Chain A
Amino acid sequence: MLPELGTFALILAFLLALLQCVAPILVLGFKKNHAFFELSLFGSIGQFIFLSFAMLCLMMSFINNDLTVLYIREHSHQLLPFIYRIGAAWGGHEGSFLLWCLVLSTWTLSFILFAKKSLENTFFYRVLMVLGFLSAGFILFLLVTSNPFARDFPTRPLIGDDLTPLLQDPGLLFHPPILYSGYVGFAIGFAVAIAALMEKKFDALTAKILRPWIVLPWAFLGCGIVLGSWWAYRELGWGGWWFWDPVENASLLPWLIATALLHSLIVSEKRNTFKGWTILLAIITFSLSLIGTFLVRSGVLISVHAFASDPTRGLFLLGYLALIMGGALTLYAFRIKFFYVAPRFQLLSRETFLLLNSVFLLTAMATILLGTLYPIILDALDSDKISVGEPYFNTVFLPIILPLLILMAIAPYVHWGEHRLAYLWKKCGFSLFSSLILGFLIPILLGFQWKLLASIGISIGIWIIISTLQFVLQLWKNHQHLNLKYYSMIIAHLGIAIMTLGITINKSYSEERQVTIATNEIVTLAGYRFSFKDLQKENTKNYQSLLVSFTVQKNKGKSNLLFAEQRVYKSHEQTLSKPGILYNAFRDIYVALGGVTANGAWIVRIYYKPCVRWIWFGGFMLLLGGLITLLNYIWPHKEIEKEINA
């Protein structure tokens, strides 16, 4: 019964989404009474209710382990723990696409609750119309090609396939919803851009209102990517945190352009220029989200993260994508001339720096997209079949991102409109020199081997930190230090700096060994001594595990215990090796179990990973920076000014 209710709810949601889209068309295109606008609101709210209900039905069916539903049979099992039955709802293509639709509907509802009052009626309902069009198309795609409630009545007794052991991790509960909140949230920026093109205007006030609707998805997407990286590190067993896998790249692309977008938006708000560029970036960001979701579900690329593929689904999705992106960019081509503002700034100015920010991020995005799609391009042209992987991306990405980081260190000091080089030198000279010296000295002082690239990376990271802290000092001197609006930038930039330091040190100074170790043997790595301590067996509801513990001791210092695990899941005898990790603020010690050799020795991989946590810590700082911007909108600037002047 529940699955049928679910399908019915989806049908209703589709019709309501259609209403949300069509009602404003009736008013704006067919000159009907403005009261019809309210039907659009009715459609959006109704859509949210029924999509939520559908998701609830899916979760309930998982909890009941209803194996007559094909999707549940493919992702669940009698022994699957309760919490993962909830997560399994979005563990495969159909359910995760339902999540996509639900998140879009949630964003739409939030937009109604928080933005309607600040926008003009016609503009607001144009946005709602575009969102309705998107929602309707996605729900239709879901119903026609990927219904999670589709039944498949069996002819023999059923056992579920179980959720892949890799997914039976807390990460499943957080990573997809947060990631989708990012991906899908950019639809709002897209819809606003379309509305602006339709009305031929995009003023500073609209830019100001739009800002939280860009920053929040940007922060969520960044957080989602960081969670994914952390999850892969904890789970996969080789200490890696980024693989330039096509699906990972697909999530990074919109984030890069969203970063460019939120910087361009600042200019649109403060200087009433760059409007056409902001609109284009908003369209591109969401388009990249769509391309990303296509790549993950269509089977055109090989990836560990890809969902089970189906070319007919891929075709439907691609057609819909082409319609949305083609329509948006065609409208852009025709209407962009109304937004052109001649540049009123010199070559050395903050405007230029922010345009360069867009240039570098756009190049980075284009490069990653090119590399990801290149195998398809060559194959389609009947040329060779090649692979494009980590070596390529590392080689090309670095020279693009380094100049951008350097710009980040200087930019806060560059004035709007016009700037003199000498003045800039005065501000930045100290931070530049001190960071170069520190970058050179720090590896040596810490006892590491000196490497040029490592020093460069450390210097840049430190430069951004010193420069940003100098900026805070400057704010303090001008009694502006309580002004919240600067802190999102400060914290976000510091976050990037810490990530840069983490990535540089981790990539330059990690060490590893792969050994066979018997119970009476020891291994040494990076000054640490590992010896085998104990073997314990554990039995849970759905897996049996072997816990192997090691004593880890550094240079006659304190001894620590580390547990590495090997699980066998009872449902289908699948094994999973869960690495043991010992961590503090400066380094991770990581041990992963391989198999057992013929004479009872364990195959073990041991890693020394300095500063790897800084990468995720920096990423979370970005989230914090984003949330502070939000704070600025909830707790308006005026109140703080009153406080300062009182």
Chain B
Amino acid sequence: MSTIKKLIILFFMLFLSLKSFATDIYPFNNPNDTNRFKSLTTELRCLVCQNQNLSESNAPLASDLRQQIYLQIKQGQSDQAIIAYLKARFGNFILYRPPLSLSTIVLWLGPFILLITMISFLIYYIRNTIKD
């Protein structure tokens, strides 16, 4: 089909459709980016709110930061780059997922170690103190 024909058909379709589609506030070309935007904005904190993430906040700062994240995803920046960008400006406080570092090692490994310790102790205790 020639280009002219395609354009004519498109023109008629638009003319004939009674309803048009609403536009996404943060439109992306592929669903992967949409998911990235959603997960990034829910993992980042709104700094002026009482414990809300960037996705759920009405604050102007949150709106500005969402816009920044949107632009950066469209520009092709990776998740790590975007997080590093925000971390450099606002510190670790803006991350709801605390980074793994020396100061957070207890936080990330603690639960696992606690569970293993308790289960090991339980097994040892039952095995070694049974009186027949």
Contact = CB atoms under 8 A, between A and B. Distances in A.
Direct touch of chains A and B (CB < 8 A): yes
Contacts of B96: 387-392
B119 interface: yes
B50 A359 contact: no
B97 to A, nearest CB: 4
Interface string B86-122: 0000011111111100011011101110110011001
A355 B125 CA distance: 12
A304 B42 contact: no
B107 A342 contact: no
A522 B51 contact: no
Contacts of A391: 43, 96-97
Interface in A353-402: 355-356, 359-360, 362-363, 366-367, 370-371, 374, 378, 383-392, 395-396, 399-400
Interface residues of B, number: 48
Nearest to B95: A387
Contacts of A346: 126, 130
Contacts, number: 141
B108 to A, nearest CB: 8
Interface stretch (A205-213, A510-518, A630-638): A510-518
B118 A513 contact: no
B110 A384 contact: no
B98 A387 contact: yes
A176 B23 CA distance: 41
Given A347-B127, A391-B96, A513-B24, A355 B122 contact: yes
B42 A390 contact: yes
A345 B131 CA distance: 9
B25 interface: yes
A298 to B, nearest CB: 15
B97 A515 contact: no
Contacts of B80: none
B22 A384 contact: no
Interface size class of A (residues with CB under 8 A): 35 or more
Contacts of B22: 515-518, 521-523, 601, 604
Contacts of A345: 126, 130
Interface in A499-525: 512-518, 520-524
B91 A384 contact: yes
B56 interface: yes
Given A342-B129, A370-B111, A390-B42, A359 B92 contact: no
Nearest to B110: A370
B97 A385 contact: no
B125 A343 contact: yes
Given A392-B97, A396-B111, A304 B127 contact: no
A389 B97 contact: yes
B114 A387 contact: no
Of residues B18, B130, B131, which shows the largest number of chain A Cβ atoms within 10 Å of its Cβ? B130
A240 B20 CA distance: 30
B115 to A, nearest CB: 5
B19 A520 contact: yes
Given A246-B51, A392-B96, A386 B104 contact: yes
A211 B18 CA distance: 66
A387 B94 contact: yes
A516 B115 contact: no
Contact of B92 (A386, A392, A399, A400): A386
Given A367-B110, A385-B92, A514-B24, A240 B118 contact: no
A245 interface: yes
Contact of A385 (B91, B108, B125, B129): B91
A238 B123 CA distance: 45
A521 B19 contact: yes
B26 A304 contact: no
Nearest to B118: A359
Nearest to B119: A359
B72 interface: no
Contacts of A115: none
Nearest to B130: A343
B18 to A, nearest CB: 8
A216 interface: no
Nearest to A304: B50
A582 interface: no
B93 A386 contact: yes
B93 A387 contact: yes
A363 B120 CA distance: 13
Contacts of B56: 236, 238, 240
A488 B131 CA distance: 33
B25 A388 contact: no
A243 B131 CA distance: 47
Contacts of B127: 347
A400 B112 CA distance: 9
Given A245-B51, A367-B110, 7 more contacts: A304-B50, A390-B43, A512-B38, A515-B22, A515-B23, A520-B19, A604-B22
27 contacts: A238-B55, A304-B50, A342-B129, A343-B125, A345-B126, A359-B115, A359-B119, A366-B111, A370-B107, A371-B107, A374-B107, A386-B98, A386-B104, A387-B92, A387-B94, A387-B95, A392-B98, A396-B108, A399-B112, A513-B24, A515-B22, A516-B22, A516-B23, A520-B18, A521-B22, A522-B21, A523-B22
